[in-house]
A and B are shown apart, each in its own frame.
Chain A
Amino acid sequence: MIQFDSVSKRYPGGYEALKNVSFQLPRGEMCFLTGHSGAGKSTLLKLIMLMERATQGQVICQGVNLARISKKHIPYHRRRIGVVFQNHSLLNDRTVFDNVALPLLVSGAPYQETGRRVRAALDKVGLLTKEKKLPVQLSGGEQQRVGIARAVVHKPDLLLADEPTGNLDPELSADIMKLFADFNAVGVTMLIATHDVDLIRRMGRAEIKLDSGRLAVP
């Protein structure tokens, strides 16, 4: 599903966030991306989302060499991926429903399907009753679940998460991870960046560890 071949990323200004990273994430896998802050976890995810481009090596995602995707086609690449952030990135002036519907809206999905899929996604994260609320009216854990619903509403094959439990207490974090495991059980490939070591141990899943931009043996 994801393949990195000797990928390096140097930011303008000289900072080298990733150095010669190679790994493969097979389809259907659920994998944790770990490392201290600044180890390059976010950069790695950004390369997959084409928010950044690799300076060396190649990234292949869903069978496509990302270097070959022109700027114009980036949106279509992103539509095949779900992404969850630590800070939720929700639109605060729109309802929970509208937030979750956004990926369907931008891709022009039929309306009947939109309502059905949004409610299914909200149901999955247990927020079906809150669809008319604004994000600010929800707790932090609930907001994160809205973010997750938005990431899976268009049924992507690949789900990326950047510190999805960063702001949550252990109990809520366990809930979120349980959700992720459920998605993985129905075939979604997952790559989750986190530094929550306890959590990873309990989950017993594959792990990619970064240390100062290099791949480390976990």
Chain B
Amino acid sequence: MVKISPTGIPVRANRSVKRWLSDHLDACLDSLGRFVLSPLQTLITLLVIAVALCLPSMLYMLVKSVESGMVNIQQSADVSVYFSPGIDEETSLQVQSKILSLESVSAARFLSPDRALQEFKEFSGLGEALTELSENPLPATLLVTPDVDQDIDALIRTIESFEAVDQVQFDFIWLQRLRALLEVVDQIALVLAAVLGTGVILILGNTIRLEIESRRDEVAVVKLVGGTNAFVQRPLLYSGVWFGLLGALIAWFLTNLFAWAMSKPLDSLGQLYLRDLSLVGLDSLELLVLLVLGIFLGWLGAWIAAARHLSAIEPG
């Protein structure tokens, strides 16, 4: 409907939804078309945005991949509890049930000295040599599987306090240190994302400002024939959205390229630890988040630039 201002001037054209959409489509395509006019400059800006977006997403991917690898490792990481020599099986089984009743423990398997020796023969490859031993040197053992994400140090201290227990061994202390380290890297990724995201806004703000400067005369003419700020601003906002979207797509490509490039060295590293190690690329939800983030930052940068510089341009 045509709206009348308090002064009696009609202030709104009678535009249909279809026309509104087509106006936006025009501005959207027009701003994309302008990229072709200065391809090199556009490409450089896109790459800067892409690099800024892909650094945090690479770090994020690294943390995510290592974390998922760690869960696998920890699931098979048992705490070995060695009983003091001469402890009879009955006492051992009492300790086992005590340990099992602990909250942080999901399983505890009892190995008698004979059974432990047998397993040792099988896995160590020293089978024949061990038959030469006159007596079994191995103590009775409990293999305790802690729940994932439990404080293993506390668990070890508890078990050590049991009387019959001689020694508690856990080979995966490094896992916990790695976990702590990952938390730091996670924080760094967040801070980096915030800093670089601000960078993207500034870069785009500046790009759009230059665009406004180079179209100063055009803006003045459009305003003179009755173009509103919204009309002049529309293609600029779409420009920002395109920059953000395309930059995010390139960032996604770079991140996956990074995952691919890292797959071989990680494979070798994984083989050393008898584990499957691989970088898990961004899934479709994460890609979506990256794209939406890119679009939002691009739009925001363009909006800030337009708000600051567009209203200053007046005809005359």
Task: Check if A and B associate.
Answer: yes
Verify A75–B316 contact, CB threshold 8 A. Answer: no
Instruction: Give the distance in Å from the alpha carbon of A75 to the alpha carbon of B231 in the complex.
Output: 10
Interface string of A100-111 (1 = CB under 8 A from B): 001100111111
CB within 8 A of A78: which of B14, B218, B224? B224
Q: Which of B1-9, B80-88, B256-264, B297-305 contacts A (4 or more CB under 8 A)?
A: B1-9
Q: How large is the interface on B (under 10, 10 to 19, 20 to 34, 35 or more residues)?
A: 20 to 34
Nearest opposing residue in chain A for B226, CB measure: A79
Verify B314–A73 contact, CB threshold 8 A. Answer: no
Residue A216 is within 8 A (CB to CB) of chain B in the complex? no
Interface string of B1-24 (1 = CB under 8 A from A): 000011111110111000100110
Contacts of A46 in B (CB 8 A): 316
Contacts of A185 in B (CB 8 A): none
Residue B221 is within 8 A (CB to CB) of chain A in the complex? yes
Residue B127 is within 8 A (CB to CB) of chain A in the complex? no
Query: What's the count of A-B pairs with C-beta under 8 Å?
Result: 76
Q: Which of A22-30, A61-69, A117-125, A196-204 contacts B (4 or more CB under 8 A)?
A: A61-69
Residue A77 is within 8 A (CB to CB) of chain B in the complex? yes
Residue A178 is within 8 A (CB to CB) of chain B in the complex? no
Residue B94 is within 8 A (CB to CB) of chain A in the complex? no
Instruction: Give the distance in Å from the alpha carbon of A46 to the alpha carbon of B316 in the complex.
Output: 8
User: Given A46-B316, A52-B316, A89-B221, A106 and B226 touching (CB < 8 A)?
Assistant: yes
User: Given A75-B228, A76-B11, A106 and B222 touching (CB < 8 A)?
Assistant: yes
Instruction: Give the distance in Å from the alpha carbon of A49 to the alpha carbon of B314 in the complex.
Output: 12
Contacts of B137 in A (CB 8 A): none
Contacts of A65 in B (CB 8 A): 7
Instruction: Give the distance in Å from the alpha carbon of A184 to the alpha carbon of B6 in the complex.
Output: 30
User: Given A80-B9, A107-B13, A51 and B314 touching (CB < 8 A)?
Assistant: yes
Residue B225 is within 8 A (CB to CB) of chain A in the complex? yes
CB within 8 A of B9: which of A73, A89, A103, A150? A73
Residue A168 is within 8 A (CB to CB) of chain B in the complex? no
CB within 8 A of A109: which of B7, B13, B314? B13
Instruction: Give the distance in Å from the alpha carbon of A76 to the alpha carbon of B223 in the complex.
Output: 10
Residue B315 is within 8 A (CB to CB) of chain A in the complex? yes
Instruction: Give the distance in Å from the alpha carbon of A102 to the alpha carbon of B223 in the complex.
Output: 10
Instruction: Give the distance in Å from the alpha carbon of A73 to the alpha carbon of B217 in the complex.
Output: 21
Verify A89–B224 contact, CB threshold 8 A. Answer: yes
Residue A54 is within 8 A (CB to CB) of chain B in the complex? no
Contacts of B223 in A (CB 8 A): 75, 78
CB distance from B223 to the nearest CB of A (A): 7
CB distance from A154 to the nearest CB of B (A): 8
- What are the 7 closest A-B residue pairs judged by CB atoms, nearest first? A79-B226, A108-B13, A106-B227, A51-B316, A78-B226, A103-B225, A76-B11
A-B pairs with beta carbons under 8 Å apart, 22 shown: A46-B316, A51-B316, A68-B7, A69-B5, A73-B5, A73-B11, A75-B228, A75-B231, A76-B5, A76-B9, A76-B10, A76-B11, A78-B224, A89-B224, A90-B221, A102-B225, A103-B225, A106-B222, A107-B13, A110-B19, A111-B22, A150-B225
